[in-house]
Structure 1
Amino acid sequence: MWRDGREVELSGRKMRAMLAALLLRANHVVLTERLVSMLWGEQPPPTAVAQLHKYVSQLRTKLGPECIVRHGAGYQLHIGQNALDLHVFDRGVRAARAALDAGRPAEAAQEITAAQTLDRHGLTPPGRCC
């Protein structure tokens, strides 16, 4: 994760797992119940929701308060269009499929090769996560 051109270090497995869960559903609400289940499984501790709120608070401190927003019974991580390698990869694959469907195999090959060789260092880290 990057913020203001610097890599953000995250400590603890649960905080990293929570960030991963939010990133996989970036710009969508992830229910608190789902996050608890992902972090602790079928038998979460009685303090799971309180711990989850603590992780959100810590992530907000590191990423900026506007990046993780509470929506009803869940949280939403706001990120820009090119902030996540997965999104850039998916767009490359869709472009390759479209080119192939349109009868442009050379263009399709270029698109899929670019998607497969995606390297975070080739992308400009976003100034903010949001």
Structure 2
Amino acid sequence: MQHKKRVKLKSLYYYMMVILALIVILWVTYLVFKNKELSPLSSYTHHSEISGCIIYTDSAIYDLPGKIKSIKELGADCKVTPYIYITAFSYSTRVSAVSCYTPIESEASSDCTTYNLIGDSNVLPSRP
């Protein structure tokens, strides 16, 4: 009887340790992936702050101040939506921007406006 009781206790101890290990593994996995951005905007990096605008870009952009000026001319107001995420392509004069009230990666939902400049004759495409 004593032997069966010991085996049961060892078995119970073993299962409790396995469950505890699984909980720890799941918790660590959660913490690791919680901070990973799944958003397409996760590739944007902080570039600079220009005239109250906090600029994020996804690549090196030719004539960034000129592109910001063009976006502001479309109605972007850095006092209202200071976080600007800019995309430009080396083979095109097209510029896209998302201007937001709060950073996109923040927990709070963000009010955003999109801007698209297509064929801006004042801005030459950059070359690689």
**Shorter chain as normaliser: what TM range?**
under 0.3
Please, what TM-score do these two structures have when normalized by structure 2?
Answer: 0.23
Please, what TM-score do these two structures have when normalized by structure 1?
Answer: 0.23
Higher strand share: 2
Higher helix share: 1
Question: Which protein has greater RCO, CA pairs closer than 8 Å, 6+ apart?
Answer: 1
